[in-house]
Structure 1
Amino acid sequence: MVKLQSLERDFENERLNEIFNRVSKLVNQMKCHGDKIDDQRIVDKILISLSEKFNPMVTVIEDTKHLSTMTVQGLIGYLRSYDQRFLRHTEKFIESVFQSKLNVENKSSTQ
């Protein structure tokens, strides 16, 4: 169970890193060819590229942050923080379900 949680955390982190790396690579190529792409455009692209899991955070960012002044690094910080918090809550939920199952099995075996 612990190994599975660790693998899931790595998978989610890899997904975020994949999005950031892919967007960064494209932006660098565009800049090399003379495009003056700004952070707002990059932030918008990242926000629409995220999985459903990030919808609550995207909504908060759109409603409370000034997207026109948000930096890409600031966005990445928000998303990584949200992802870590989300995974901690998921791990706690899985642990409580696992513990509940053990308790039910123990009660069943003693009866």
Structure 2
Amino acid sequence: MKNKHQGTTRAKRQQLQALHTEFELLRMKPGESVSDFFSRTMAIINKMRIHGEKIDDVKVIEKILRSMTPKFNYVVCSIEESKDLDQLSIDELQGSLLVHEHKLIQQDNEEQALKASTNNNTTT
């Protein structure tokens, strides 16, 4: 019985080490949506918690903010300056970043529409 328990403890520790490495190396990929990045992040966090790791939300929030692509830099700075990260929830952070992402997409669409209309006017 003792060997069986030690085996599962050792296996659990190894799995947790692998998850720690995955968490440390986690970065938002270029072109990845905020929702997809949060899904990947929370999948790792949930696995870590299942294996007994006590990881605070503030640690997750700080990691997410550090791991965003450069196009989110000024929003990340704004969040860090204006919000108390100890009081901020992961859902609130996701909401703020989703709003910013939506504005970026809308701005890109408007610029593309403007370019298309400009190109149509020059070819006629």
* Runs of 4+ displaced beyond 6 Å: none
Residue of structure 2 equivalent to 1:47: 65
Gaps of 5+ in 1: 1-10, 107-111
Gaps of 5+ in 2: 1-29
Q: Structure 2-normalised TM-score? A: 0.70
1:105 to 2:123 alignment: yes
1:84 to 2:102 alignment: yes
* Count of residues in correspondence between the two structures: 95
Identity of aligned residues (%): 28
Deviation string 1:4-27 (CA, Å, 9 cap, x unpaired) is xxxxxxx95x53233212211111
Equivalent position amino acid for 1:103 in 2: N
Q: Structure 1-normalised TM-score? A: 0.78
Q: Alignment RMSD, CA only?
A: 1.6
